[in-house]
Amino acid sequence: MNWLAISTQLTNLMERKKHHENVKKIRKAIVKRFKDWKGILITTTAADTEELKTSNIPENLRKLKIVLM
């Protein structure tokens, strides 16, 4: 394996870690806002969807608010 391939793999790992931390922050913020168990359950399952992982985070948060209200 050459240095370029190793560098690319490290970059990809760092991006995934950064994304995972962002998803955790979103979950915490949503759980703080919605205290009832039903709301927490819906939001945590929605946070795991591929759509939230791959799209614009603020837009998805707006969608989640609409779903829960």
Closest by Cα among 6, 68, 8 to 39? 68
Q: In residues, how long is the chain?
A: 69
Q: Domain limits of the chain? A: 3-68
- pLDDT at position 7 is 79
- pLDDT at position 16 is 80
- pLDDT at position 69 is 46
Predicted confidence pLDDT, tens digits, the chain (69 residues): 677 777 788 888 888 888 878 888 887 777 776 655 554 455 545 555 555 555 555 555 555 555 554
54 close to 23: Cβ distance less than 8 angstroms = no
- pLDDT at position 19 is 80
| CA gap 29, 6 in Å, rounded | 35
**Phi, psi (degrees; rounded to nearest 5) at 34:** -110, 110
